[in-house]
Structure 1
Amino acid sequence: MLLNYQHHWIIDNMPVTWCYDVEEKQKFCNPGFPIGCYITEDGHPKDACVINSEFHERDTYYIFNHVDITIYYHVVEDEAKGSRLVAAKLEPRSYKHTHPDKADCSGPPMEIRNNKDDVEIRYTYSVTFEEEKEIRWASRWDYILESMPHTHIQWFSIMNSLVIVLFLSGMVAMIMLRTLHKDIARYNQMDSAEDAQEEFGWKLVHGDIFRPPRKGMLLSVFLGSGTQILIMTFVTLFFACLGFLSPANRGALMTCAVVLWVLLGTPAGYVASRFYKSFGGEKWKTNVLLTAFLCPGIVFADFFLMNLILWGEGSSAAIPFGTLVAILALWFCISVPLTFIGAYFGFKKNAIEHPVRTNQIPRQIPEQSFYTKPLPGIIMGGILPFGCIFIQLFFILNSIWSHQMYYMFGFLFLVFIILVITCSEATILLCYFHLCAEDYHWQWRSFLTSGFTAVYFLVYAVHYFYSKLQITGTASTFLYFGYTMIMVHIFFLFTGTIGFFACFWFVTKIYSVVKVD
């Protein structure tokens, strides 16, 4: 009760809700109800204890050992004797039954003091059926979704965030287009050798811009896995916007994401092999094996460790062993072969053609100023993308850890598109600054610049843990950060891939339209 543990019941695939009045005469329907509440030593009621004035004893726990369940049904006119459940609500109550052997749901509240060791608690319930003529089957979830707390504030905040990010993105795009237009016009007007000697900025590094990066094998593997996650996220959110993955279909969102990830092994293998070949790599077997097993293996190992903790705690949320075997079968029997097929077609094609030739001798990079050094640029690059998602991130974390439902997939899809645009433009802007400073190591930097958004994600998750949650157990803490690391890892690959593709397009474009002697 101190940790606000709750019951979660389901009838006909619908949560049994506890509806109560909140501020401004609004009603909030919670898809769960607490097991009890606590009155502090100074007489302050915590959580649900405020609903009953009889809960007043200090340093006392009150148990909700009785529930009045009301089931609302709608008679189907086309069927002679048929009806459908359209709502299920309850009222938690506390009774210290006058006759425990024959519970009569009467007596004072069931209280437990700290000085008692053994207490016998008798749980009871009552069920009432009421016909509801106005609520239809298709709209039976509306009363839950419409009562979510701060719905209007959420809409305003999301729209405000989208407007700000769109404005900033437009400013960045305008600055880039104006600056590049002047640079390209000036460089293309340099016809004499004397003018060519006065070249400066990003044109000087044209002979090194496509030089293979260090650790090109690892970068290509990350790009392959990131492409797989990027396509999976887009298709999943698109289906969710169409209504196929509504809260009524429990587990449909995760099932769709896993199935799509398994079927998208071919793009992962193709992208990884194509870029690895363009980096001059020759160990194609190692490349395809790492693409198929490295990033998915990290996620599965973390997930399996979290599941072991749930097994050890005896939690019903633990994934059965058979389900884990089925996931492994999907991975090894479908995803891995598809990855090999994609890698085969990727290595079979010619290497990516670059618009300029690479010099044999690397150009020396001059001394960099503070803001063009790698670490400051990477840290600054993740601020703007994180700014466009942190509001959505708050509500997503609430839906995962605070018993709230998330259903605004339309806004989430818009934020996804804005995140892609923002990551691309922020990374391109910083890449342009580095090229103007004659630093041509853009491959890893572009990946890490937008991928650093995941670090801000992790920092925000730590802040959310300490400010919003009341988790004290070691196992629960380990579970929270274990699952958070899975999300951070996936988000790092996702955003990093966006940044790299944006910079690759940008670099290829600007060096293909400029006359290079």
Structure 2
Amino acid sequence: MDCRLPLGRWLLVLLGLAYVEAFYIPGWSIKSYKENEPIPLMVNKVYSDNTQLQFAYYDLPFVCPPTGNRHAGSSLLSGESIPLNLGEVLRGDRITQSDIELVMGQDKECNVLCTRSVGRSDLKRANQMVKEGYVAEWIVDNLPGATSFVTVDKSRKYYAAGFKLGYTDIPLNGGAPKYYINNHLSIVIRHRQAPGKAGERGGRVIVGFEVYPKSIGPKSRTTSGCPSDIDNVDQQMELYYFPNSTDVSVQYPESSIRPPDTDDDIDDGATLDIPYSYSVYFREDDKIEWAHRWDLYFVNQEEGSRIHWLAIINSLIISGLLSSIVAMILARTIRGDIKSYKDSVAEDGKLRQKRRSHQSSGSRTPKQGEQAGGLLEQVGDTENDADVSSDEETLEDATGWKLLHGDVFRSPTGGNLLAPMIGSGMQLLFMAVGLLFLSSLGVLNPSFRGGFVSVGVGLFVFAGIFSGYFSTRVYKTFGGISWRKMALITAVLFPGLLFTLVFVLNLFVWAQASSTALPFGTLIGILFLWLCIQLPLVYVGSWYGYVRAGPWDHPTKTTTLPRQIPVVPWYIRGPQSALIAGLIPFAVIFIELLFVFQSMWQDKSGYYYVFGFLSVVSIILILSIAEVTIVTIYIKLSCEDYNWWWHSFFIGAGSSVWVFLYCVWYYFTKLHIEGFVSGLLFFSYSFMAVCVYGLLTGTVGFLTAYAFVRRIYGAIKAD
């Protein structure tokens, strides 16, 4: 039975996978709560779309600090951090136990948390963070606290993770803007009966965690600190204290005039008291299944499904056109070239045989005393001359790429650098395929916080064995003799550059006291993974690739002296050719890039999860790169230029230049990032991502071109 599927059926399978959109697979254990059972609430970090700097929530000087007390439902003390995986640390998470108390089924109209006295310098920082639109993330039962919204047609409800620290009010009369802190939080926990036996025993599961912030000033609170009327607030909590004023009654005037603070005012010791409180409400909601409780965070992304389909259709059209061109080259042009070459070789062989038979019939037996070898040697020389002239005639009849059979597999200049780059590209390719596969199946989902990064790092380290295998095998094919040196270069080159860049950036982030800064222990752990795990794996793969597998065999022999390369057209030269060819793969992915960038840089409170679409586009991207590389290398060889090794790599990586230019365009047109450090982080992260993308796609181009060249020159090899 033939198990092979036609191309059309494979496309249907892939499109079906895209429609699944990386469905959410629930966790292995469902946490249920009984009536009156305490529920721990964790605080994480604050972040903003206007900056790349994140901060731990409890590091803010204007929020209630942890008391250090132990609360029911948690084994941690208030302010104590929970263990984090590597992905959570790298993304800036700092999850700690809070002092907020939640009890299943028990509503609380008001709980006073604390009254925080804030000095002028801390007040200034609070104003700046409110101005930059910082959002806080709290967590209950692994769900991030969310602000609830409805769609434009009011048909569906969706969540935006996090809640704003405050808001800005710009007076209509043109006065200075006012900044208000959200110091009262209404927490809504949505729950339903737990599935299975836990539900029969009265267990409840949490299916929603909503936070509604409000700004309530002292005049709108009772003496106990609770809001007098949450629905009708007479006074908001403004983040301002008049200079040199000790009269609390003038802290909140109705005037919009706000004189600026001076240096003397900053040091005058004045403080502003900010009261904090919260309310808790439990609401039963049977419309949401526990397995689908994350869907509300993705409703807003589902509206772009038509554009995702447009991206796939666009990619299929471009790939289809490329496939037609490649098929024409392979089926007609190259096949015709090979056929004409073989016909000329066969005709030349017949002519050579006729010459030999004619020379043999005209020979005589030497007389006695005559040097027997003289005439025979002359006959032999005549035959050799006939062979040489015949070969020259055959080469003269050949044209284009067929003339390069003695030079096409000549080792490239800089092969010691190209080989480890190919190895690193295979390492990244394995990691990318593994991440897309697991994400498309739903194994890597938002409930696995930091899982995408953690699994990616694990796959990258494990793939070191593939990196060593391919780098040393390519290296030996180029004629290299020191495989241990090549193994060391492969293990150090790309990971070392990446680690150095991350370390330097970490210094800038650490100077800003941001939670994005990697702790020293994490840096040591990454260094251990690199030197103690990946490097030995690279060594093992290098040994197997060099000693056991050996070099790849080439169908033709390389001549001693290289041919002279004629002047090639401008469009086939290195930089121009790579940029022109890179436009086509970029056109395949640029629509989907918009959603990836929006998820990474704009909707940082949201989650990108349509990995099914991304997987299909990625497969089409790889096919497009392979086809573009085949066409470009064929044109290059037809121009009698045999320096295709590096060229094939740059053709595959050419689209990375356009991706980086797209990053620059996106930064200046779509983002509102402010500050030198934030801009440095954006362009540095973009550069690292583009390098990863370039190594991956360049490796695809190189391997495709290598297989293509071996195939066409193997077809013209004389039997």
TM-score by length of 1: 0.92
2:469 alignment partner in structure 1: 270
Which residue type is aligned with residue 95 of structure 1? I
The SS at the match of 1:147 is helix
Task: Summarize deviations over 1:43-64 as a string: whole Å, max 9, x none.
Answer: 79xxxxxxxxxxxx87333443
User: Which segment drifts farther, 204-213 or 22-31?
Assistant: 22-31
C-alpha distance in 2 between matches for 1:62 and 1:170: 59
Structure 1 residue 502 corresponds to structure 2 residue 704: yes
- Alpha-carbon deviation of 1:163? 2.7
Q: CA deviation at 1:27?
A: 4.1
Q: Does the alignment pair 1:208 with 2:407?
A: yes
Separation in structure 2 between the aligned mates of residue 350 and residue 85 of structure 1, nearest angstrom: 58
Deviation of 1:503 (Å)? 0.1
What corresponds to 1:187 in structure 2?
341
Distance 1:10 1:344, change over 3 A: same
Match of 2:132 in 1: 3
Q: Is the 8 A contact 1:188 1:515 kept in 2?
A: no
Residue 47 of structure 1 corresponds to none
Match of 2:193 among 75, 87, 92: 75
CA drift at 1:291: 0.3
CA RMSD of aligned residues (A): 2.2
Q: Cα distance, 1:476 vs. partner? A: 1.2
SS of equivalent to 1:38? strand
User: In the alignment, is residue 24 of structure 1 matched against residue 168 of structure 2?
Assistant: no
TM-superposed CA distance for 1:267, in Å, is 1.2
Shift of 1:422: 0.9
174-183 or 224-233: bigger deviation: 174-183
* Structure of higher RCO (CA pairs closer than 8 Å, 6+ residues apart): 2
Partner amino acid, structure 2, of 1:103: C
CA distance in 2, matches of 1:156, 1:119: 54
Q: Secondary structure at the match of 2:275?
A: coil
> Quick one: distance in 1 between partners of 2:329 and 2:235?
72
Q: Which is further off, 405-414 or 474-483?
A: 474-483
Worse-matched range after superposition: 164-173 or 199-208: 164-173
Decide whether the 8 Å contact of 2:158 with 2:296 is kept in 1: no
Corresponding position of 1:35? 165
1:171 maps onto 2:324 in alignment: yes
Unaligned 5+ residue runs, structure 1?
45-56
How do residues 431-450 of structure 1 correspond to structure 2 at under 5 angstroms?
A: 431-450=633-652
1:147-186 CA-to-partner distances (Å, cap 9, x unmatched) read 3374234333323333323323322332322322222222
- Which has more radius of gyration? 2
Q: Distance in 2 between matches of 1:43 and 1:121?
A: 27
**Structure 1: how far apart are the matches of 2:499 and 2:436?**
23
Contact 1:208 1:363 in 2 (8 A): yes
> What is the DSSP-based 3-state SS (H/G/I as helix, E as strand, rest coil) of the residue aligned with 1:20?
strand
Counterpart residue number, 1:459:
661
Match of 1:48 in 2: none
Residue 59 of structure 1 aligns to which amino acid in structure 2?
P
Superposed counterparts of 1:92-171, under 5 Å: 92-99=213-220, 102-104=225-227, 105=230, 106-111=233-238, 114-115=258-259, 117=261, 120-148=273-301, 150-171=303-324
Question: How far, CA to CA, are the matches of 1:245 and 1:306 in structure 2?
Answer: 28
Identity fraction in percent: 36
Q: Deviations over 1:55-109 (max 9, x none)?
A: xx87333443333221101222522142111111122333334255523143234
**Take 2:158 and 2:308, find their aligned partners in 1: how far apart are those partners?**
17
Change (3 A) 1:42 1:187: farther
Identify unmatched segments of 5+ residues in structure 2. 1-129, 240-255, 262-270, 349-389
Q: Which moved more, 1:203-212 or 1:470-479?
A: 470-479
Q: What is the rounded CA distance, in whole Å, between the counterparts of 1:256 and 1:226 in structure 2? A: 18
Tell me the SS of whatever aligns to 1:148: helix
Tell me the TM-score normalised to structure 2 length: 0.67
Q: Is the 8 A contact 1:38 1:59 kept in 2?
A: yes
SS of the aligned residue for 1:209 comes to coil
Deviates more, 1:303-312 or 1:291-300: 303-312
Corresponding position: 1:360 with 2:552:
no
In structure 2, how many angstroms separate the alpha carbons of the residues matched to 1:371 and 1:24? 52
Separation of aligned partners in 2, 1:353 and 1:375: 30
- In 2, Cα distance between the equivalents of 1:218 and 1:366? 26
Equivalent residue in structure 1 for 2:458, among 259, 282, 289 = 259
For 1:502 and 1:130, locate their aligned partners in 2 and report how far apart those are by CA, in whole Å: 58
CA distance in 2, matches of 1:471, 1:477: 7
Distance 1:33 1:116, change over 3 A: farther
Match of 1:182, as an amino acid? Answer: G
What letter matches 1:504 in structure 2? Answer: Y
2-structure distance, mates of 1:296, 1:15: 33
Q: Give the drift of 1:298.
A: 0.7
The letter of the residue matching 1:475 is V
CA contact (8 A) 1:27 1:147 kept: no
Structure 1: how far apart are the matches of 2:687 and 2:316? Answer: 30
* C-alpha distance in structure 2 between counterparts of 1:485 and 1:43, whole Å: 45
Between 430-439 and 194-203, the greater mean CA deviation after superposition: 194-203
Q: Is the 8 A contact 2:411 2:478 kept in 1?
A: yes
Conserved in 2, the CA contact under 8 Å of 1:43 and 1:58? Answer: no
Aligned to 1:308: 507
One-letter amino acid of the counterpart of residue 186, structure 1: S
State how far apart, in whole Å, the 1-side matches of 2:618 and 2:492 are.
27
Evaluate the alpha carbon distance shift between residue 487 and residue 135 of structure 1 in structure 2; reply closer, same or farther with a 3 A threshold.
Answer: same
- Of 77-86 and 231-240, more deviation after overlay is shown by 77-86
Q: How far off is 1:444 after superposition?
A: 0.3
Alpha-carbon distance between aligned partners in 1 of 2:696 and 2:407, rounded to the nearest angstrom:
27
